[in-house]
Amino acid sequence: MTLRLGILVKRQRTCPACGGIEQYRLEKGVDVMLAIEMVSGAVEDKYDVAYLLALDADYSPTVRYVRERGKKVFLVAPKGSPYGTLGRVCNVTIPIDQATVTECQAE
């Protein structure tokens, strides 16, 4: 297994209500990297099941392609989220809550 990292880009935005400036970071390049990993892993028969922790419908074509190659894709998403298109193309949706996420984080 290889750890691949995206990049964090600094951004700022102005609050329309109060005029305050907020600094934040935005990840870039992760979506495409993940899609490539899912597709190449399916083609090279590196896995049987992929667990996708995302809600972005842009992953739908990737999921369809992977499933056409006989792989299963389980969507892991927050309880109550609108799974929409992505939820429909995955084999199973596994809802999680904040307590589960917190419990799984490294200390």
Kindly report, residue by residue over 55-100, the tens digit of the pLDDT: 899 999 999 999 999 999 999 998 988 888 999 999 999 999 988 8
The letter for the amino acid at 76 is V
Please determine, for residue 4, whether its predicted confidence score (pLDDT) is greater than 80: no
What global pTM score does this model have? 0.78
Q: Is position 78 within any domain?
A: yes
What's the CA gap between 87 and 54, in Å, rounded? Answer: 10
Q: Is position 1 within any domain?
A: no
Q: What are the pLDDT digits (tens) for 27-43?
A: 888 899 999 999 999 99
pLDDT at site 65: 98
Q: Which domain holds residue 13?
A: 7-104
| Chain-centroid distance, C-alpha 5 | 14
Q: Is position 2 within any domain?
A: no
Q: Is position 62 within any domain?
A: yes
The letter for the amino acid at 38 is M
Please determine, for residue 45, whether its predicted confidence score (pLDDT) is greater than 90: yes
Q: How many domains does the chain have?
A: 1
